Amino acid sequence: MTIRYDGKVAIVTGAGQGLGRSHAIELAKRGAKVVINDLGGAKDGTGGSSEAARSVVAEIEALGGEAIANGANVAKYAEVEAMVKQAMDQWGRVDILVNNAGILRDKSFAKGSLEDFQLVLDVHLMGTVNCTKACWDIMREQEYGRIVVTTSSSGLYGNFGQSNYGSAKMGVIGLMNTLVQEGAKYNIRVNALAPTAGTRMTEGLIDEKAFELLTPETVTPAVLYLVGEDSPNRTILCAGAGSFAVTRIVESDSVWLSPEEQTPEGIAAHWDEISSTAGEKALQAGFEQSFKMVGKAVEGLGIKLD
């Protein structure tokens, strides 16, 4: 079955080049009307021009699609609200939001400034929050929404010199996990993309021959899948060079220690058991951890529950 988006309206942030451009063009090819959002700044967030966004609109129109350009800074909520209003005025709905916009201010934690740290959080994490917040009530009222947040292996696993970026990229996973629960009854699904692509953000970091395999076009199919009507929910889909994988956050089974052993020494003595991968599970909500641990305690203490 072909996945299409006829009658759907999509907003793609940071869509003037790289991954965002690829996502936007392919969404348009499959029938979506697309807002091409791009501040037009350099990869460190400085500067700004709407030329890149207008160029992508022209590409889409040349293919017979519909698109409009918008230069909102995703870190500024008033500008994001105006962008969403532009989409509503033009097409009357917003069905798909791809949070892709980002900047880099790479430095080791010792050398990096708090100002740079805050700026990266403002763009990646609060930019995702701002765009999602501006679309949320619309999606609730129309009882349909597909949202993608963009995470990164730097957040999921760490990357030297990217404490600011990694913090923001793990932050959007926490946002996703809760929005999935709050959006469920309104048919709003939220997923995360963890892309590996040869964009200006990764240029110079990877061997040239390998870099050439990491095209944005090999990542975009993951986004197209995540924003389809039959998309999954609460999934971290990794993509790069034509390969796809799913990241899961799992928790070990839990080991109850007797009151006498509930000490740091007791934890040390049982560490192999506590950290064992046997029986580990991907929990679906925070309360599941509480239920699991209380259940182990009840069992260990021999408490009879009504």
Three-state secondary structure of 166-230: HHHHHHHHHHHHHHHHHHHHHCEEEEEEEECCCCCCCCCCCCHHHHHHCCHHHCHHHHHHHCCCC
- CA-based torsion, 177, 182, 184, 186: positive or negative: negative
**Contact (CB, 8 A) for 69 and 15:** no
Would you tell me how many other CB atoms lie within 10 Å of the CB of residue 47? 9
Active site residues: 165
CA distance linking residue 72 with residue 66, whole number of Å: 19
**DSSP for 95-130, written as a single string:** -EEEE-------B-TTT--HHHHHHHHIIIIIHHHH
Gyration radius of the chain's alpha carbons:
22
Report whether 169 contacts 152 (CB < 8 A). yes
Q: Measure Cα distances from 127 to 138, 150, 292 in Å.
A: 18, 11, 35
Strands in 9-12's sheet, in edge-to-edge order, are: 67-70, 33-37, 9-12, 96-99, 145-150, 188-195, 236-240, 243-247
What is the identity of the amino acid at 49?
Answer: S
